[in-house]
Amino acid sequence: MPFIKATIDLGAIKRNYRTISEFVGNSTVTSAVVKNNAYGMGAEKVSMALYDVGCRDFWVAYLAEALTIREVLPNDAKIYYLQGFQKSDMPVIKETKIIPVINSLHEFITIKGNDIEFVLFVDTGFSRLGLRRTDIDEVLPCLKDENIAYVISHLACSDDKNHPMNSAQKKAFDNILAKIRSVIDVKAGLSATGGALFGKEYAYDIVRIGSFLHDIQLNSPLSAESVLTLETQVLQKYILPAGSTVGYSATYTAPHDIKLAVISIGHGDGFRRHLGNKGFIHFYGEEKIYAAPIIGNVSMDLTTCDVTEIPDELTEPGMTATVLSKDYRVKDMARDADLLSYEILIGLQLKPDRCDLIYRG
């Protein structure tokens, strides 16, 4: 059995959904982004939990992901996949009532006239996927006969409320939307979590919420609950003499005798190498939490930390070493690693063959 234990708090994810739903208000649909296996948390479990708390609209990246959660969600759940639509998808999406997002003129030409509900994605300055403004002019005459669930776009700089790109994209979106609404009455959505937190002006008819559900949204006026606890074990502890080096490339030299603990986690488990000589492992006493600095490079399956200042009874072999918790969250680890919270969370190998995976709440 693996030494690593991951506990995912579905109750916290539900409460995070309620918190942002109440902020957005009843006039806007609060939908959930569960792509990439719900940010590594388990798309089936997370989707079912969110359905239980009232969510009915779900976004994934690919059709295969949509089919996976369609198997566990009731028929009234709407499932959208954001990319990769092709002609061969049409029989299965008709049968399963999964809704593709159409991102290009080619995809629009492929789907039009087939009596399939879809979302139209328009580019407003992100310069990634999406119909361009010239494409909009070309598709306008064809829209009145199509079943379009939403027209959507995506903000490039929603991590900074004051960035001028946000208002520029909103203006572009409003202009495109006015053109389309001159032909058909259609609902709209511009924002994922960051934009949704700007308030009603950016909410439109639907918002797509991912990062807030999983407690990795930065610069938020709302408080999300921690959803993930990650624990492992101490394998070995010993006195490292002054002048000794630690780990691959000998990036750490002990300035004096220290107590070194070796714990069972490494980059093979998704624990990032960026945390070498930067991050922390935590040990819980009855009344105090102790932070042990990571020393040396993170190895594939092992990490070393300095436990000199931590009571011996907490750091003996077999004792619990806490990697993530409500006291040291993904956002904190991302800060120490100088990475995005998304990179930390999605990179973790939270799979039954890699760890003892527990859901609660």
Residues 134-182 pLDDT 10s? 999 999 999 999 999 999 999 999 999 999 999 999 999 999 999 999 9
Q: In the structure, what pLDDT confidence band is assigned to residue 1 with cuts at 50, 70 and 90?
A: low
Cα distances from 66 to residues 38, 60, 100, in angstroms, run: 12, 6, 10
Closest CA to 12 of 49, 58, 38: 49
Q: Which residues, listed in sequence order, are joined to residue 81 by a DSSP beta bridge?
A: 60, 100
pLDDT-derived band at 219, boundaries 50, 70, 90? confident
pLDDT tens per residue across span 96-149? 999 999 999 999 999 999 999 999 999 999 999 999 989 999 999 999 999 999
Mean per-residue pLDDT for 42-49? 97
Domain segments of the chain: what residues? 10-209, 228-360
CA dist 81 and 59 (Å) reads: 6
Residue 105, C-beta contacts closer than 8 angstroms, at least 6 positions apart: 131, 135, 138, 139
Please list the residues that pair with 6 across neighbouring strands.
230, 357
Q: What is the number of alpha carbons within 13 Å of residue 94 lying toward its C-beta?
A: 9
Quick one: CATH architecture of 228-360?
A: Beta Barrel (2.40)
Can you tell me the distance from the alpha carbon of 341 to that of 201, in angstroms, rounded to the nearest whole number?
27
Please, are residues 151 and 186 in contact by the beta-carbon 8 Å criterion?
A: yes
pLDDT above 70 for 184: yes
- Whether 263 and 54 have beta carbons less than 8 Å apart is answered as no
CA nearest neighbour of 231 among 145, 319, 143: 319
Sign of CA dihedral 50, 53, 59, 63: positive
Is 51 in the active site? Answer: no
Residue whose C-alpha is closest to residue 124's, from 135, 114, 110: 135
Q: For this structure, is 248 an active site residue?
A: yes
Strands (E), 252-345: 252-253, 258-263, 280-284, 289-293, 303-306, 320-324
Of the listed 171, 248, 288, 326, which one is catalytic? Answer: 248
Predicted pLDDT at 255: 97
Average pLDDT over residues 327-354: 92
Per-residue pLDDT reduced to its tens digit, 306-322:
999 999 999 999 999 99
pLDDT tens readout for residues 269-301: 999 999 999 999 999 999 999 999 999 999 999
Q: Which CATH architecture has domain 10-209?
A: Alpha-Beta Barrel (3.20)
pLDDT, averaged across the chain: 96
Residue 2 has pLDDT above 80, yes or no: no
pLDDT of residue 350: 85
* Mean predicted confidence (pLDDT) in 179-201: 96
* Contacts of residue 24, Cβ cutoff 8 Å, sequence gap at least 6: 30, 196, 203, 207
Q: Considering 35, 45, 170, 331, which one is annotated as catalytic? A: 35
